[in-house]
């Protein structure tokens, strides 16, 4: 299905671009946490590859693409090296990185959903796995740095845009309407929703009658 929507070369380039920006975000967090070079590499790898690795293991696509394709493993190492040596300059373009990260979120939630469906999962399970593909690496990263995963405390709506994009793909599949245009629509919707959430500081609803001014529990 993916090969019908995108030529293999374009699909591969988009995957590498998403992996690179996610790895850069993970490495920058490691720098902010004062991790050493090994910690920077580890956070870059898990942020970039964690979601796809989880998806491939669940659907039985073994060996996972992260290990079967050398460029998928090398790209996070390149991103980690760039951040290690040039992190002051990289941090100056943090806003641009957030934009690319939003684009990667849109791409991975869509391709993750489609790949899961190709391997025989139902539409609901495919959409759920698409979300995990997009946010799974961030969950592992947050756990490693001893922070509450953003998936559970969704500041500025990180998981919600991915859920919207994955759901759109599942609906298009059920209507037999998944094509290049509808796939692009799902990616763009996720991308724009994430950008708007960052711009206006949107977040998912709190518990009923829980005021946003109430301090969060540590």
What is the rounded CA–CA span in Å between residue 48 and residue 24?
Answer: 8
pTM given for the model:
0.85
And the tokens for 16? 């590498």
Contact 21, 100 (CB under 8 A): yes
CA geometry: angle at 146 spanning 126 and 191, to 5°?
40
Between 6 and 114, where is the model more confident?
Answer: 114
Handedness of CA 198, 91, 149, 114 (dihedral sign): positive
Query: Given a cut of 90, is residue 128 above it in pLDDT?
Result: yes
pLDDT band at 93 (very low <50, low <70, confident <90, very high): low
Query: Given a cut of 80, is residue 49 above it in pLDDT?
Result: yes
Q: In a 3-state reduction of DSSP, which class is residue 110?
A: helix
pLDDT 10s digits, 159-176 = 999 999 999 999 999 999
pLDDT value of residue 10: 67
Mean pLDDT of all residues belonging to the chain: 86
What is the rounded CA–CA span in Å between residue 180 and residue 216?
Answer: 42
Residues 188-199: what's their mean pLDDT? 93
E strand residue ranges, 10-130: none
Q: How distant, in Å, are the alpha carbons of 41, 109, 148 from that of 18?
A: 17, 11, 23
Contact 163, 189 (CB under 8 A): no
Q: In a 3-state reduction of DSSP, which class is residue 147?
A: coil
């Amino acid at each position: 299905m993916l090969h019908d929507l995108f030529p293999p070369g374009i699909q591969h380039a988009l995957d590498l671009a998403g992996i690179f920006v996610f790895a850069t975000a993970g490495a920058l967090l490691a720098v902010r946490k004062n991790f050493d070079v090994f910690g920077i590499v580890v956070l870059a790898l898990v942020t970039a590859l964690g979601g796809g690795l989880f998806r491939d293991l669940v659907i039985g696509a073994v060996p996972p693409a992260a290990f079967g394709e050398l460029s998928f493993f090398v790209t996070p190492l390149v991103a980690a090296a760039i951040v290690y040596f040039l992190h002051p300059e990289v941090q100056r373009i943090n806003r641009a990185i957030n934009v690319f990260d939003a684009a990667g979120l849109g791409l991975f939630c869509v391709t993750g959903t489609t790949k899961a469906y190709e391997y025989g999962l139902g539409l609901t399970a495919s959409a759920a796995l698409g979300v995990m593909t997009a946010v799974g690496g961030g969950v592992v990263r947050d756990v490693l740095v001893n922070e509450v995963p953003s998936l559970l405390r969704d500041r500025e709506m990180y998981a919600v845009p991915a859920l919207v994009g994955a759901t759109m793909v599942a609906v298009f599949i059920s209507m037999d309407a998944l094509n290049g245009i509808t796939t692009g629509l799902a990616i763009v919707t996720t991308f724009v929703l994430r950008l708007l959430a960052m711009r206006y500081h949107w977040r998912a609803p709190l518990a009923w009658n829980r005021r946003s001014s109430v301090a969060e529990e540590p």
